[in-house]
Amino acid sequence: MILPRKKYTLKFIAKPTANGEDTIISMRLTVDRQKVERSLGLIGKKDDWIAEEERFSECLQYNCSINRQLSEVRGRVEECYQIVHRKGVTPTAKLIRDEFYGVKDTRIAPTLLDFIEGHILTLSKLPEDEFSPGTLVQYKAMQKRLTAFLESINEEHLLLRNLTRKIIYEFQEYLTTTPSPETGRPIKASSAGKYLSKLRAIINVSIQKEIGPVRNPFNGVKIARAVAKVQPLTWEEIEKIMNADLSGTNGLEKARDLFCWSLFTGLRFSESASMRKEDVYIENGRYRMIIRSKKSREVFDRPLINEAVQLYNELIEKYDGEYLLGRLSNQRTNSNLKILADLVKIKRPINHHLARHSFATTVLMDRGTEIKFVSHMLMHRKVATTEQVYAKITRELENRAIDEINERTALRKVS
């Protein structure tokens, strides 16, 4: 974590006492030319003070003790500066001094719940193609459960900077042991992990803004994650979706086109929805596409398979404007895909992300594509990610593997 650049000066000033032989040390804080000064109550011999070095000569053990205290003061002032800075205001000499002497001003320190409320408000103002309404619902659900938890421990006014790992673990335990108002029973550890992930994201934002905890309380916290059990579409199901008569229903057709584009390119919803017609180009007789990933903030260049090329040529004629597929929210697309599944009598849940899974398994791996190339097309950094999440053993893969084994292995004679 990068700490804010120092914007203050601290000087130790020696002033003579009444007897004329001793001197008393004061600290002088300066921020943007504004100064505050206050005595530290440290007294030493006038002749032992070294003004240029702002310390006493260490010829006496007593002076060594005073110098150590001055060093501690410097460290404490730096700490106070950081604390004031993280309250979300511009540090002043007076605020740093007050923090040093224990004069607290909690009015400028946001509470955890206030910061979360402000963050959610900011997210709600983002365009839907940058931040989906479904994710916003998840943030609000986390906020609701966290509010109930903090009220249960009388900490609803907990300051943002005072969030600790202990409180996070207590919140996790609360989620997995306290009945949910919606279902009347506690949620699973994987579901609790989703709430904690949202809270962690908000805390990371507060630290980036330098108003959160000095140390990230999520460091070392293990968050349970649910492993998605997704069964990719079969070719029979894919053909049902592609050949369905939608009678010109615009919403259903657009949802199907978005789904099919991801089905034959492996793109996520945000990547398909934001793709422009000019992002597809021809090089040496092959179609390729430029992908601007909103997840990794990177730009990728990938080839198109034949089904994607054919679909692209249909889409550029079908939709006007710069975008290949027009504009449609993820939530609306998934709602229309459920209707489409009912129409073609596919009796299992279908959402847009299923297209990416089906691209990896049915479209590529069932055709004998190597896992390394599948990982490349999905823009994964590690092949292990592809193997764990997307590479499913389908009936086609199973049959091919058995056939290859049988072809290479002669039957044993049974005596």
pLDDT at residue 165 tops 80: yes
Q: What is the pLDDT of residue 303?
A: 93
pLDDT at residue 10 tops 80: yes
Distance of CA 378 to the CA centre of its chain: 20
Q: What is the pLDDT of residue 282?
A: 94
How many residues are listed for the chain in this entry? 415
In terms of pLDDT, which residue wins out, 135 or 308? 308
Q: What is the pLDDT of residue 4?
A: 47
pLDDT tens-digit series, residues 235-257: 999 999 999 988 777 889 999 99
In terms of pLDDT, which residue wins out, 397 or 216? 216
Lowest mean pLDDT among 107-116, 284-293, 340-349, 389-398: 389-398
Residues 362, 126: Cα–Cα separation, whole Å? 35
pLDDT at residue 3 tops 90: no
Q: What is the pLDDT of residue 129?
A: 52
> With bands split at pLDDT 50, 70 and 90, how would you rate the model's confidence at 87?
low
Q: Indicate the average pLDDT of the chain.
A: 85
Q: What is the pLDDT of residue 11?
A: 93
Q: What is the pLDDT of residue 2?
A: 43
Q: What is the pLDDT of residue 401?
A: 67
pLDDT at residue 227 tops 70: no
Residues 343, 330: Cα–Cα separation, whole Å? 20
Q: What is the pLDDT of residue 392?
A: 62
What global pTM score does this model have?
0.52
> With bands split at pLDDT 50, 70 and 90, how would you rate the model's confidence at 88?
low
pLDDT at residue 217 tops 80: yes
Once rounded to an integer, what is the mean pLDDT over residues 21-26? 90
355: exposed, middle or buried (Cβ count in 10 Å: 0-12, 13-18, 19+): buried
Residue found under tokens 């279902």: 183
Q: What is the pLDDT of residue 208?
A: 84
pLDDT at residue 105 tops 60: no
Please state the three-class secondary structure of the chain as a single string.
Answer: CCCCCCCCEEEEEEEECCCCCEEEEEEEEEECCEEEEEEEEEEEEHHHEECCCCEECCCCHHHHHHHHHHHHHHHHHHHHHHHHHCCCCCCCHHHHHHHHCCCCCHHHCCEHHHHHHHHHHHHHCCCCCCCCHHHHHHHHHHHHHHHHHHHHCCCCCCEHHHCCHHHHHHHHHHHHHCCCCCCCCCCCHHHHHHHHHHHHHHHHHHHHCCCCCCCCCCCCCCCCCCCCCCCCCCHHHHHHHHHCCCCCCHHHHHHHHHHHHHHHHCCCHHHHHCCEHHHEEEECCEEEEEEECCCCCCEEEEECCHHHHHHHHHHHHHCCCCECCCCCCHHHHHHHHHHHHHHCCCCCCCCCHHHHHHHHHHHHHHHCCCHHHHHHHCCCCCHHHHHHHHCCCCHHHHHHHHHHHHHHCCCCCCC
